[in-house]
Copies of this chain bind each other. A is one copy, B any other.
């Protein structure tokens, strides 16, 4: 239970970052697309094949230096069920290389339906007396707007299967404040209230590093709120989106970490996947360029998170 497995991987690699695999077809080099379209057709099936090859090549280049990937479900669902099959195969491949996989699905529902999502992503589904994993990820992002009925089914499975969830608390987007920053009648913001609910939901799943199985999403674009939440939620592990492309800098991101250099993992998606375009290198070098960007990001962030910054120096 808890995020012990993820935290152990972060310590092992000395790298508190996760690569968001949100593969638009535009990011995939032409030579991969050409081959996939020839094999499978220039349609959703071909696109799904191209994206799988792109993902696998990046995973091959980064699995030894990056602890985790975070595939965003939307970018697979847009290619239909064929894309969802690629999501499954990406998860399977990354785990075969020892990576921790968090599906960014922001799922939310109640009771039996939330159990179905839980079984889909973190547990298993029984067919004719045999259990099968739908997607078999290690963690899932979820939205807590529906309250405890939407979270309880998850914490049970997390405890049983050594998995974790990240609840949206303060998202990285510009309009996140429209609702999340509003003040309730007790003087607390909505994101504060959601954060407190995370501590409550996670209280029985605290692991050896002091963090529970119920993490929170807190955006890199709001460093003040990151610092506030880090202080107020001592057992809640943070997933921090918004670094880089969305404008969050390493100095601000550092506020998500505790005094041991733990407590958070920072996501980067586009900058890693499109590093070859930014570098202007041969497109055949896209995966090596992704690796170079991962190292650059690790150095940038760990230069501000000094407690963790020892192993790879």
Contacts and interface: CB of A to CB of B under 8 A. Distances in A.
Interface stretch (A79-87, A93-101, A298-306): A79-87
Given A74-B116, A182-B185, A173 B111 contact: yes
Contact of A148 (B72, B77, B108, B175): B175
A128 interface: yes
Contact of A183 (B127, B128, B184): B184
B79 A125 contact: yes
Given A43-B127, A85-B81, A119-B78, A110 B173 contact: yes
Interface stretch (A10-18, A130-138, A207-215, A229-237): A130-138
Nearest to A188: B182
Given A43-B132, A179-B145, A125 B78 contact: yes
A44 B80 contact: no
Interface in A88-147: 88, 106-114, 116-117, 119-121, 125-128, 130, 132-135, 143-147
Contact of A107 (B25, B106, B168): B106
Interface of A: 22, 24-25, 33, 37, 42-44, 46-47, 72, 74-75, 77-81, 83-85, 87-88, 106-114, 116-117, 119-121, 125-128, 130, 132-135, 143-150, 168, 171-180, 182-185, 190, 193-194, 197
30 contacts: A24-B112, A42-B127, A42-B130, A43-B132, A44-B125, A44-B132, A44-B134, A72-B116, A74-B114, A77-B120, A77-B135, A78-B125, A80-B132, A83-B134, A108-B168, A110-B172, A110-B173, A143-B145, A145-B180, A146-B175, A146-B176, A147-B175, A148-B175, A150-B175, A178-B197, A182-B185, A182-B193, A183-B185, A184-B184, A185-B185
